[in-house]
């Protein structure tokens, strides 16, 4: 079993970026961040087993002092490599999301219905979309309130396929989902089969620009904030008049940026929902109906 040296310390969330930059400069091979009940953060930085961890420890403390980054309880140690995915599976029990979903990360598909909730069996593997992230939960909570029966949906950045699967289970007739990461598309494909919605979900590796013409009733984009701002215009091109555009993965600064930049003002969009969870925001826009030509 492979071993790693590590440094572990706690700090205020506002210093996480600076401390991460310091350990990155020092050649860390990986960081694990864990929120603490106190409101602080526990950071664990891993180094090769061949590193002199005593020296790494003192070097780190002196760099933090020089950069005025306050860290507490800094300690060094050795750890055996763990299978994070296996641990995640062992620790994560099925859980509810919103009013209608039940997410089961287990491998076994059981037919038992849970309090009349819609069950999704998801094995995220190497793709984002376990259902535990607030940005995903915001999308699911918006989706469960949209009229989806018989509608068409475009899921941009599908990850594990979670939002595409949820849409199909809520009655969407046709879902198209894309991701730039081919591994995510493989994972999404296997999740679609596991949930028996593969007949109604088409997947492709690529970006929204690869699409020709057709309009969708609902477009979902849980992506990085700056990417959303950059691609907003392209998203709107694929939205049916009166369709809904769900933008998630936005931090406060991204939402402010979207409104301040004036891009929304220049597009045929009206804000219909603005919801938040933790530090994440989700904005839902309706596409304005096509303007009637004068005299009609």
Ligand X SMILES: C[S@@+](CC[C@H](N)C(=O)[O-])C[C@H]1O[C@@H](n2cnc3c(N)ncnc32)[C@H](O)[C@@H]1O
Which spans of this chain sit near ligand X (rule: CB under 6 A)?
A: 127-129, 136, 139, 156-159, 162-163, 178-181, 184, 207, 222-223, 227, 249
Locate 123 and state its tokens: 């094995």
Locate 43 and state its tokens: 């950071």
Of 10 and 125, the one with the shorter C-beta distance to ligand X is 125
Of 8 and 191, the one with the shorter C-beta distance to ligand X is 191
Smallest separation, CB 248 to ligand X (Å):
7
Of 98 and 157, the one with the shorter C-beta distance to ligand X is 157
Question: Among all residues, whose Cβ is closest to ligand X?
Answer: 157
Of 49 and 180, the one with the shorter C-beta distance to ligand X is 180
Beta strand segments in the chain, E: 3-11, 30-35, 41-48, 72-80, 95-97, 101-104, 118-121, 152-156, 174-179, 201-205, 216-222, 239-251, 269-277, 280-287
Cα–Cα distances in angstroms (integers) from residue 153 to residues 107, 197, 239, 240, in the given order: 27, 14, 9, 10
Burial readout 14-38 (b: 16 or more C-beta within 10 A, e: otherwise) = ebbebbeebbeeeebeeeeeeeeee
Give the count of beta carbons closer than 10 Å to the beta carbon of residue 114: 13
Of 109 and 180, the one with the shorter C-beta distance to ligand X is 180
Of 53 and 211, the one with the shorter C-beta distance to ligand X is 211
Smallest separation, CB 174 to ligand X (Å):
18
Q: Which residue has the tokens 């289970």?
A: 169
Give the DSSP H/E element, type plus range, for residue 255.
helix 252-260
Give the count of beta carbons closer than 10 Å to the beta carbon of residue 295: 4
Smallest separation, CB 129 to ligand X (Å):
3
Of 5 and 160, the one with the shorter C-beta distance to ligand X is 160
Smallest separation, CB 165 to ligand X (Å):
10
Q: Where are the alpha helices (DSSP H) in the chain?
A: 16-25, 53-66, 84-91, 134-143, 162-169, 182-194, 225-237, 252-260
Smallest separation, CB 253 to ligand X (Å):
17
Smallest separation, CB 185 to ligand X (Å):
9
Smallest separation, CB 251 to ligand X (Å):
12
CA 242 to chain centre: 26
CA distance 219 to 250: 16
């Amino acid at each position: 079993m492979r071993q790693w040296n590590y440094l572990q310390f706690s700090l205020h969330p506002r210093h996480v970026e600076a401390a991460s930059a310091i350990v990155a400069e020092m050649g860390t091979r990986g960081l694990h961040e864990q929120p603490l009940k106190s409101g602080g953060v526990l950071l664990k930085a891993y180094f090769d087993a061949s590193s002199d961890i005593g020296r790494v420890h003192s070097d780190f403390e002196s760099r933090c002092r020089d950069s005025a980054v306050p860290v507490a309880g800094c300690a060094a140690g050795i750890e055996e490599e763990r299978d994070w995915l296996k641990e995640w599976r062992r620790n994560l029990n099925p859980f509810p999301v919103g009013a209608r979903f039940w997410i089961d990360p287990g491998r076994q598909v059981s037919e038992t219905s849970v309090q009349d909730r819609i069950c999704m069996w998801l094995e995220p593997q190497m793709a984002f979309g376990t259902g535990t992230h607030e940005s995903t939960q915001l999308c699911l909570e918006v989706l469960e309130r949209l009229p989806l029966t018989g509608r068409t949906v475009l899921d941009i950045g599908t990850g594990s396929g979670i939002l595409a699967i949820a849409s199909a289970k809520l009655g969407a007739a046709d879902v198209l989902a894309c991701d730039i990461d081919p591994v995510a598309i493989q994972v999404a494909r296997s999740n679609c089969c596991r949930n028996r919605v593969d007949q109604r979900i088409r997947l492709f590796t690529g970006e929204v620009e690869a699409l020709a013409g057709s309009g969708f009733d609902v477009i979902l984009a849980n992506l990085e904030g700056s990417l959303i701002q950059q691609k907003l215009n392209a998203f709107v091109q694929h939205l049916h008049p009166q369709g809904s555009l769900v933008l998630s993965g936005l931090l406060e600064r991204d939402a402010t940026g979207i409104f301040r930049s004036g891009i929304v003002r220049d597009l045929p969009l009206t804000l219909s929902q603005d919801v938040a969870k933790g530090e994440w925001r989700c904005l839902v826009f309706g596409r304005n109906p096509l303007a009637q030509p004068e005299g009609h």
